[in-house]
Amino acid sequence: MFTLTWQPPYDWLWMLKFLGDRAVAGIETVTPTDYTRSFACQGHRGLIHVTPQPNGTLEVALSDGLLPIADLCLARITRLFDLHCDPQQIEQTLGSLGAARPGLRLPGSMDTWEQGVRAILGQLVSVAMAAKLTAKLVALCGEPLAEAPEYRCFPTPDAVTQADPLALKALGMPLKRAESLIHLAQSVVAGDFPTEAPDDIDSAIKALQTRPGIGRWTANYFALRGWQAKDVFLADDYLIKQRFAGMTPAQIRRYAERWQPWRSYALLHIWYTDGWTPSVDGEVAGIE
């Protein structure tokens, strides 16, 4: 058993619901009290089980197959749950915007390749549909986990490069999206896809948009989750445009500059604060 820590406050109910809404069958099991998933990296594979404790710690259990890469697993778990976040520092920048949910954290990812796949499959569909589509891909291309056959490992880039685009299309996606997945897999295999957050996030997001099937929203959302970039704002997001009614994406981006360098957290708070609106005088307004 391993133990990780975080700085309070931490809204674990919100985090586990966020992950649970996006849980992929065969990969993850999420309850209001814990999180379990398969994980494979560097030739090792196994199960991860995490349980938040009321004393400010996160208990982590790794199956035997992952013990040789325990440090890597703990680093990825830290990224997934944003355990290094300093909520007081962010509160100073967000002000009243973050007051309703001071324990909100930025959900990251265990694997950037996996998050890239999820971002592409999440285009123009609901959260639930994206999870179902990803589960179909896992069932098609993922290998069962020997120690827990009810789980599979997320498909490797190599497996997806060998997939028939028409077989992927048959899962319920447009052919162009299937081809985008294969192109992403080829990039990961070739080593030209950034698996860690680059120094220049803005330039990296622009570079992502030159790839087939990756537009502005997908590139920004991937940066938000896959690289856990702290200063990304999705001005083109449907809900954000609703919150900023009457403003163009350019105007929204200018408005959001007040929350630098924590615009990713501002984005989450706006998404999850019902009735939030920007005020005319430049101060934020929150309505529960």
Pairwise CA distance, residues 253 & 257, whole Å: 7
Q: What are the distances in angstroms from CA 156 to CA 47, 181, 182? A: 17, 12, 11
Pairwise CA distance, residues 233 & 220, whole Å: 8
Report the chain's C-alpha Rg in angstroms.
19
DSSP string, 141-161: HPPEETTEEEEEPPPPHHHHH
Pairwise CA distance, residues 280 & 102, whole Å: 24
Active site residue 281: no
Pairwise CA distance, residues 129 & 147, whole Å: 29
CA contacts within 13 A on the Cβ side of 253: 8
Q: Do the beta carbons of residue 113 and residue 284 sit within 8 Å? A: no
Q: Do the beta carbons of residue 19 and residue 28 sit within 8 Å? A: yes
Q: Do the beta carbons of residue 79 and residue 54 sit within 8 Å? A: no
Pairwise CA distance, residues 61 & 77, whole Å: 11
Task: Choose the catalytic residue: 111, 200, 237, 281.
Answer: 237
Q: Do the beta carbons of residue 265 and residue 284 sit within 8 Å? A: no
The residues assigned a catalytic role are 237
